[in-house]
Amino acid sequence: MTPKEMGALYDYNNWANARLLEACAGLTPEQFTRDLGSSFPSVRDTLAHILGAEWIWLERWNGRSPAALPPGNEFADLAALRSRWEVLAAELLNFVHEVTASELEHVVEYRNVKGKACSYPLASMLQHVVNHGSFHRGQVVTFLRQLGAKPKSLDLLLYLDFLAGRHEV
């Protein structure tokens, strides 16, 4: 994957995250934090996990190895989560759009939250983060449907159609 393609993938990731947050805006505070019985119990906790994962990976790419993800309950409401995410999204996009081809091949060493030493090529890590986010966004879409909402599609191809002006999303 070239740096330009990686940047485009992260532009999509940012679009999908923003679109999902938009879909969550209609939830009541109780719905936002309701335990829905999944790996991350609520919409809030799942969104916080996606945000936390994006944050911890950016930290690792910048040479730091945080010992933990931020807890979901640090976000009292969607506005707090969205505010934090807007800052992180700008930092992520800046990082990814500045990456060179040689940097994509560079092996990044870090310690995971259990203290285990790990290393992967930056390109693999970058792809992992988008894949991880897609998985958990799918969980949130399911939650939203269970709560009676009608979230819009987050498909990559729909995003590409939107960019090409083929239809509104």
Predicted local confidence at residue 151, as pLDDT: 95
For residue 107, the cross-strand partners are 121
Return the CA Rg of the chain.
16
Superfamily of structural domain 3-163: dinb family like domain (1.20.120.450)
- Name the average pLDDT for the chain: 96
DSSP state of 12: H
Q: Strands 107-111 and 117-121: what pairing?
A: antiparallel
* Residue extents of the structural domains in the chain: 3-163
Q: Kindly report, residue by residue over 5-19, the tens digit of the pLDDT.
A: 999 999 999 999 999
SS3 of residue 105 by DSSP: helix
Q: Are 125 and 60 in contact (CB under 8 A)?
A: yes
pLDDT tens digit string along 96-119?
Answer: 999 999 999 999 999 999 999 999
